[in-house]
Structure 1
């Protein structure tokens, strides 16, 4: 065989992989969510460097193919070697199956995986050993299966990257890693959201055709197996390229440095982005970000929280009157952007109830979510804490016995519950809330007759609210006040809900339908609540967990973090608009201020109604950490990077200035050093406090 035939399985797969990657990159380039235009330099760069990244990633992921091909031979089946090797396989399989191996110490599914793998290897080796007449046919079908597996994975990855971009406007990130953990919910969501059968039918047909072509062109490898010397030459070339790839891939990632975030994402390779997200689920702030001496960071923070001292946020909060132990119901709404509401300019009338309720409530018109995931929103209203680098505290191992809103209410004699229509195991919510002394009401607690409609995410919001009313009726009878945190689920893809409730069919899988049904279910909740004796003694807090989309032209597009929030309590909270800039972490400290609670606080969040409050908002992804202040967005990122943008309202927004949410983000030509220091102070001190376990609850 000449060299081309020796490596034909590799280069035919390589040709297929780079072709699929190129097609996906072109599709994403022209995708409607890619809301930008590209300079010709950026376009050339993203396709050129993107191709190189794809090439080197392919070299790495074909390591298994190299191992498989290099061990194909006939000599290992000759007597007595074949019988010795087969005996070793059988012995190892028996040992792992019935012995106490080191795999058992790790537990989980690892021993089962090893047993399955060794069983397959033993059976296949036995067939090739004892059926020499059929060895070529068996080897052909094994070779075809390996090629098919690579083809199907390449196609599946391409489809997954498209749908992930369609949802989030980026390549794989933390969310994709989480999707591997919560497979039941995610697979169920995919099954309910997309035409899975046609997609996978087409996928397998295309994969079959491509596999047939590649096998036809490269089967010469198994028909005329390379000898030992030829295999060493192939291995030498592969190992050289493998080493080059290990060096080149990170170097190419450094080239993803355009001002246009979409250009960086399109240039990137999705597989490598997934690897980075998997390896960096927790980012060490002090290793990756710009820092100052801790004493300086806390001194800077003291300018924002004047009553703190030393390296802590501990301070005394004093009410201005007698404490008022009203019930509190906090409703966090799934994926609810400010732009859905009429007061922010929406003309589709998809939130009629919340629009009406806002006229009777204290409305925070200029509030920003801290992140773009539910766990970030839950962290913000529960811990009132900045969004630190890496995963939310909700999903970390050290997530228990934290200083929380629930802990404050517990101190005041409240019953404290977290209510969720899905399985609270998802996103580690059960572990987090139970570990912080919340009682949990989730789908597992529902009786069959309490569920009228559900999808993969849980029961519909109406069912959750019906359950909540029953529970609150019982709580009210106990004589103790209650604090109940309700998390909605219906406004989430696949956006299915009971038919006949609103004028958009429940099986249309429309986001507008999800928003409107969420609004309808909340109206039904308040209609029921108003009939209960505890209603007049209850404060209702309604806030979104995050926006419906986080994709934008920059790392942190401000309009993708603007969310609605209001406090409703007739005869207790005066209806008005609060228009100052504020953060999601400020909502619950403000509620505690309205109740005149006296308590020791560790919260970063503040009562925005107090005269000492200095307007600012914190927004972040898992690695880009931002501060909005003085109409400037400051972003600190790994590798000690700092960016600043002037936020300028776009013209011709048909709403009052306090409700305009769309900004042009123009890079600053001169750094605002004071804002850089303030941004660092928030995130560095928060990281230090978590690291040193200084945010535990006060006993």
Structure 2
């Protein structure tokens, strides 16, 4: 038989191991396909390619596991076949490999439920923050049942292996060195090919994102993300002459009357004059960044489940931005967009990168105006590098603070949320009501000292496991996302009720905006609807108004600064939404690889293979319809993203570079 020639008896277990992985991978892929079938391209050719490409990636993945054992089988002396040492190594390696496979397959289902993707750099990040993730898994899923299922499957696979006498054949095999070299070469060649010449994105053969994700292998995707979670813009994306890119971006600012300060450099640093400085106001500002609040959760956008009565009421008493889009799909992307007012850069967020301190942020503008700056987070702010980023950019930190120290380079203060201040806590942090109570307590102190304050508050309750204090809302704690949204809204209402009783309330503006949507996955390159988030400015002293201009997360604080009539030096990309002309409306949306510029119903997407795609967005169906490229639109898109990446990569966002370092 061909099998016996390729894999002699000594390699029987290795072949069985490979076959088991390929079979289980096929089953996982089939289940994920059935789970997401309505979103996939279901033609015979596309589905066939999904499974063929998936099989090849599975084969490449298992080869990385098979090669070490194949080398062991090659060099282990024949006279010791079946010895105690041989059996211990073989049983241990086989069992460990099966446990890794089974655990990863179970983990893939939970990851797919949350992100509708195979493992990516998010999974890599989660591996780093084990405290939050392990507790989140414990609170979200029946761990004893899952562990029991893994152990039961492991026992079943071991039983079948023994019953088929696979171990016996392996230990009793009499294979010559010549017979053993062939399977080693096969797995060696496959491993080298996948290590050196195959990239995870090579599985992306279709215009349908779900088919592309299904074609990938979860374990291979994980290690690919671990190896490559940062992308060089100039190496991977379409670019133009840097001076030309800066000229195009700066022309947008100068047309509004901004005055460039470094006209000879690659810079966007300028003076922004937003009107009569005699009308300048310096109220306290509390910004609430709400975890995962998609626009379509609000009744104001047509939701009929009555989840957000407080936010819906606020939308009628505020400047309510109805056509605003998040820049990304994760909290750190939202923080990047809000604080730096910058289009997303490829790879991981600037919040998580090295050398991200002493940057020009909105905090620097508040500093120019004499504000105390605070970052509030209900969990441990070491998660996602938040404390290092905010602390390194001048914000005092208020978080749970359970022993995780600030970076040595961070010179700001840190205040703990103490146990006696906590009424409820889950894996991600204290309940929203508790963090808001801490905000009020710190606001009282600042007011007593006559100190204007800017508070950046990051909530956590609208996050799996969706747990919160029982009895606060109709939907029981831990039920589903709708319950978490309902509690999130309840907590905001209670916070504002308490704030209205404070002497500082009348002189405080509240800005409320989501960090990203609850789910941003879609079957297309960028699912526009899943970037639509609510945003409002409350208690500004201006008449309430619904503002339908298309805008971006990066525009919220430049808009606020304009409302306050501030003249300030700026390195921000964002613009005043209220003064935008129809031709100037736009939004930046992206993920860690795709970068998009949305204007009206047109979307240009830059890809990481120096590719670009131009679409018309059908708002009714949320479909992207391919259209012929527009060179001017493409150049504008490239300019924004190239300049953003250039500034960070070359120190152009640094206070020292801008002459502001103190």
The verdict on a shared fold, with TM-score over 0.5 as the criterion, is yes
Contact 2:606-2:613 within 8 A present in 1 as well: yes
Alignment map for 1:353-502 (pairs within 5 Å): 353-444=310-401, 445-502=416-473
The aligned residue for residue 248 of structure 2 is 300
Separation of aligned partners in 2, 1:42 and 1:232: 37
Contact 2:10-2:171 within 8 A present in 1 as well: no
Question: Equivalent of 1:580, from 539, 549, 570?
Answer: 549
Alignment map for 1:18-37 (pairs within 5 Å): 18-32=22-36, 35-37=39-41
Question: Equivalent of 1:666, from 622, 625, 639?
Answer: 625
Question: Equivalent of 1:682, from 640, 644, 649?
Answer: 640
Separation of aligned partners in 2, 1:238 and 1:354: 58
| 1:156-215 Cα distance to aligned partner (Å, 9 max, x none) | 111122211111111111101101111111111111111111011011111111023235
The aligned residue for residue 504 of structure 2 is 534
Change (3 A) 1:24 1:638: same
State yes or no: 1:312 paired with 2:267. Answer: yes
State yes or no: 1:348 paired with 2:305. Answer: yes
| 1:272-311 Cα distance to aligned partner (Å, 9 max, x none) | 2222222222100000001111112112213322244452
Question: Equivalent of 1:633, from 580, 586, 603?
Answer: 603
Change (3 A) 1:418 1:41: same
Alignment map for 1:201-280 (pairs within 5 Å): 201-215=148-162, 216-224=165-173, 226=175, 228-246=177-195, 249-250=198-199, 253-254=201-202, 256-280=204-228
The aligned residue for residue 68 of structure 2 is 64
Alignment map for 1:586-605 (pairs within 5 Å): 586-605=555-574
Secondary structure of the 2:35 match is coil
The aligned residue for residue 96 of structure 2 is 149
Change (3 A) 1:419 1:34: farther
| 1:118-145 Cα distance to aligned partner (Å, 9 max, x none) | xxxxxxxxxxxxxxxxx83453243222
Secondary structure of the 1:26 match is helix
Contact 1:499-1:507 within 8 A present in 2 as well: no
Change (3 A) 1:324 1:30: same
Structure 1 residue 241: deviation in Å?
3.8
Change (3 A) 1:416 1:642: same
Contact 1:314-1:601 within 8 A present in 2 as well: yes
| 1:242-292 Cα distance to aligned partner (Å, 9 max, x none) | 344446744x85352311111111112222222222222210000000111
Separation of aligned partners in 2, 1:261 and 1:467: 42
Question: Equivalent of 1:184, from 126, 131, 137?
Answer: 131
Contact 1:319-1:593 within 8 A present in 2 as well: yes
Separation of aligned partners in 2, 1:255 and 1:353: 45
The aligned residue for residue 125 of structure 1 is none
The aligned residue for residue 547 of structure 1 is 517
The aligned residue for residue 404 of structure 2 is none
Secondary structure of the 1:60 match is helix
The aligned residue for residue 339 of structure 1 is 296
The aligned residue for residue 14 of structure 1 is 18
Structure 1 residue 40: deviation in Å?
1.9
Separation of aligned partners in 1, 2:440 and 2:196: 60
| 1:358-388 Cα distance to aligned partner (Å, 9 max, x none) | 1000001000000000001011111111110
Structure 1 residue 414: deviation in Å?
0.7
TM-score (norm. length: structure 1): 0.86
Separation of aligned partners in 1, 2:599 and 2:166: 61
The aligned residue for residue 692 of structure 1 is 650
TM-score (norm. length: structure 2): 0.91
Contact 1:34-1:169 within 8 A present in 2 as well: no
Separation of aligned partners in 1, 2:453 and 2:459: 19
Structure 1 residue 612: deviation in Å?
5.9
Structure 1 residue 224: deviation in Å?
3.9
Question: Equivalent of 2:534, from 550, 558, 564?
Answer: 564
Separation of aligned partners in 2, 1:36 and 1:74: 51
| 1:420-447 Cα distance to aligned partner (Å, 9 max, x none) | 0000000000100000010000012122
Secondary structure of the 2:466 match is coil
Please tell me whether Structure 1 or Structure 2 has the larger radius of gyration of its CA atoms: 1
| 1:566-616 Cα distance to aligned partner (Å, 9 max, x none) | 00016x132101111000000011111111111111100111122568110
Question: Equivalent of 2:477, from 506, 517, 526?
Answer: 506
Which runs of 5 or more residues in structure 1 are unaligned?
Answer: 78-134, 651-661
The aligned residue for residue 102 of structure 1 is none
Alignment map for 1:86-165 (pairs within 5 Å): 136-137=83-84, 139-165=86-112
Secondary structure of the 1:143 match is helix
Separation of aligned partners in 2, 1:611 and 1:239: 59
| 1:34-55 Cα distance to aligned partner (Å, 9 max, x none) | 5244222111111112112211
Deviates further, 443-452 or 306-315 = 306-315
The aligned residue for residue 283 of structure 1 is 231
Change (3 A) 1:13 1:379: same
Contact 1:617-1:627 within 8 A present in 2 as well: yes
Structure 1 residue 64: deviation in Å?
2.5
Secondary structure of the 1:30 match is helix
Change (3 A) 1:48 1:76: closer
Structure 1 residue 411: deviation in Å?
1.7
Contact 2:310-2:490 within 8 A present in 1 as well: yes
